[in-house]
Amino acid sequence: MKVNIKKLNEKAIIPTYGSDFSAGADLYACIDEDLCIRAGETVLVKTGLAIEIPFGYGGFIYARSGLASKRGLAPANKVGVVDCDYRGEVMVALHNHSLVDQTIVPCERIAQLVIAPYLKADFCLVEDLTDTARGEGGFGSTGRK
């Protein structure tokens, strides 16, 4: 699938895949100097890119597993969403979940972008829903014996 991308900053790095079978493409920090993210703080980190996500698809921004597990840095909203009609700069709201300040350096990989199809729902108000064996059980109810 071809995806149009525009550099808003000449230093921006086009997303890259770590392997032939990677679902997510790495997004890079487009910053001029080191950026300190204090413990418990959220900072918007620019990528310097605008992306034209194809109609019927969304761009979903996920944490990079190493950055999240080793340094506590992950998207503040857990999964960022880039809608197919958005044409502004892609930014990552990076949150420091750790107890120590963390530093992002220029051109560091900060998150990953997964482009995936979505279905738009036509929500229909009804009086009753169909019955299932699970019913109203939630929050771990399917794992209990």
**Position 16: which residue type?**
T
Using an 8 Å Cβ cutoff, are 49 and 6 in contact? yes
pLDDT at residue 145 above 60? no
Beta bridge partners of 113: 25, 61
Q: Which residues have CB under 8 Å from 104's CB, separation 6+?
A: 29, 31, 34, 35, 37, 45, 73, 94, 110
Beta bridge partners of 116: 58
- Which region holds residue 72: left if phi is over 0, alpha if psi is between -120 and 50, else beta? left
| Residue 14 to residue 49: CA distance in whole angstroms | 8
Q: How does 21-56 read in b/e, with b if 16+ C-beta sit within 10 Å? A: eeebbbbbbbbeeebebeeeeebebbbbbbbebeee
* pLDDT tens, residue by residue, 94-132: 999 999 999 999 999 999 999 999 999 999 999 999 998
Domain ranges of the chain: 4-120
Residue 91, pLDDT score: 98
Q: What percent of the chain has pLDDT over 90?
A: 90
Judged by DSSP in three states, 94 sits in strand
pLDDT at residue 63 above 80? yes
Tokens representing 38 are 């204090």
Using an 8 Å Cβ cutoff, are 103 and 36 in contact? yes
Candidates 3.40.140.10, 3.10.129.10, 2.70.40.10, 3.20.20.70; CATH matching 4-120? 2.70.40.10
- For the segment 132-140, the average pLDDT, to the nearest whole number, is 79
